[in-house]
Amino acid sequence: MARYLLVSGDFVETGGMDRANHALAAYLADRGDEVHLAAYRASADLLAKPGVTLHRARKVMGSYLLSSPLLDRVGRRVAAQVAPGGGRVVVNGGNCDWPDVNWVHYVHAAWPPQAGGGLARRIRKAVENRRETALERARVGRARLVIANSERTRRDLVERVGVQPD
């Protein structure tokens, strides 16, 4: 039985990267691995699987921007427990400062914010994008292994984040 820590905001089946992260966690649990999740939330069906443990990060005022430092802190704390025994740590993009496996679904540097609405919302989205872009640049390239979810994502990582093509 292998040990894994997966760090992501959500492990639910609503779509996008949340669905992909949920599928990975379910796959690992179904094959009998010990699966730790550092997240804001995870679906009940995933948490009911044997060997799955949620290490919840508090979501401040429903905001990913305000809560991301807490997710990073929880992820690093649990990674320090899982990794020494040979466990693998899989993070997404810039969400956790741990240099094992980084599975990238989305490259913030490739997609400027498309926020409609009022001035406050546009400013918040711009700040969030700048922060996520800086975290990607600082963290993704340090990973032992970078996995891109598509050829487009791989190309964006190489061209916009500076990740080595190999």
pLDDT digits (tens, 9 = 90+) for 3-62: 999 999 999 998 888 999 999 999 999 999 999 999 999 999 999 999 999 999 999 998
Partnered with residue 88 across adjacent β-strands are: 4
- Give the ranges where the chain is alpha helix by DSSP (H): 16-30, 44-47, 64-82, 119-139, 151-156
Predicted TM-score (pTM) of this structure: 0.92
Whether residue 100 contacts residue 80, with contact meaning beta carbons closer than 8 Å, is answered with: no
